[in-house]
Amino acid sequence: MSVTRPTQSYRQGFQQDPVVQRRRVVIPNSHGEKLVGILHETGSKQLVIVCHGFQSTKDRIPMVNLAAALEREGISAFRFDFSGNGESEGSFLYGNYRREAEDLRAIVQDFCAKGRVITAIIGHSKGGNAVLLYASKYNDISIVINISGRFNLKRGIEGRLGLGYLQRIKQNGFIDVRNKKGKLEYRVTQESLMDRLSTDIHAACHMICQDCRVLTIHGTKDKMVPAEDALEFDKFIPNHKLHIIEGADHEFTSHQDELASLVIQFIKANYQKDGPTSKRADGTIDSRM
């Protein structure tokens, strides 16, 4: 059961000039936690789901701008907070990759049950891993977009947890991560660290079916996740397109328009190739027209 509440309505000159409404929607995940999102409703049956990254929310600039760009094309979009993040219920966990893919599953199933067609799933940073893990397991979404996702999950840990993190977490059972002012940001348990280290993105890439079209977008100036990771995705995902944006950082701060344009072009080009039918999350066949 989901809860929908209008928050904003306005009209813009889209292709079919729909009335666009932004509604707060609450959908439970498989653990009974309420996942909170914003539905950009254009009246289209087609829906694109947008996923945020690590310690982020649905309201960060890339997610908001991508949903707005889809709005302008008359395509409905849904951006939401994973459990333990933003407005959603649950505890924040450092690893949680597969569980976030299951959060996405709950979102997909809820909208499919209402007759929506999930045209694409988009993930930024850690959200990119979530959409790829989802695609590797469920094979019911034909367009997947990975923005600044990390291929090698063993990299980038030392930068957050410090030198000797494995030994320290084995001794103490956890590591507290603090900001520059000494304020606690989050706690990394040994279990959550092992969750990250045991998540095999390489294997997941091989499990994505040939019919699923995947786009990876990365920036050359990304200091969080090196652009080299994007090249690894290109090696192992069967039906893959890679686009590197020169000079773009992790959140595409000065390249939002270019990012949105690439996403829209990829969705439009590949949606048209899908043909008249598509497999739904409940296993049935649904019209895409």
- For the chain, 289 residues long, the average pLDDT of each consecutive 10-residue run is 39 49 96 98 96 96 97 96 97 94 98 97 98 97 98 93 94 93 93 96 97 98 97 97 98 97 96 50 40
Q: Are strands 277-279 and 285-287 parallel, antiparallel or unpaired?
A: antiparallel
Q: What is the pLDDT of residue 283?
A: 47
Largest CA distance in the chain: 61
Q: Which CATH number fits domain 21-152+201-270: 3.40.50.620, 3.40.50.2300, 3.40.50.1820, 3.50.7.10?
A: 3.40.50.1820
Q: What is the pLDDT of residue 192?
A: 94
What CA–CA distance (Å, rounded) separates 18 from 142?
A: 26
Cβ burial, residue 206 (10 Å; 0-12/13-18/19+): exposed
Task: In the chain, list all ranges with CATH 3.40.50.1820.
Answer: 21-152+201-270
* Residue position matching structure tokens 């395509």: 75
The structure tokens listed for 136 are 């590797």
What CA–CA distance (Å, rounded) separates 94 from 99?
A: 11
Q: Residues near 188 by Cβ (< 8 Å), separated by ≥ 6?
A: 94, 161, 169, 174, 175, 176, 177
**Short-list 103, 110, 97, CA closest to 39:** 110
Per-residue 3-state assignment (H helix, E strand, C coil) for 89-126: CCCCCCCCHHHHHHHHHHHHHHHHHCCCEEEEEEEECH
Q: What is the pLDDT of residue 20?
A: 77
In degrees rounded to 5, what are phi and psi of residue 189? -85, 165
Its pTM stands at 0.88
Would you state the torsion angle of the CA atoms of residues 146, 152, 157, 158, taken in this order, to the nearest 10 degrees? Answer: -130
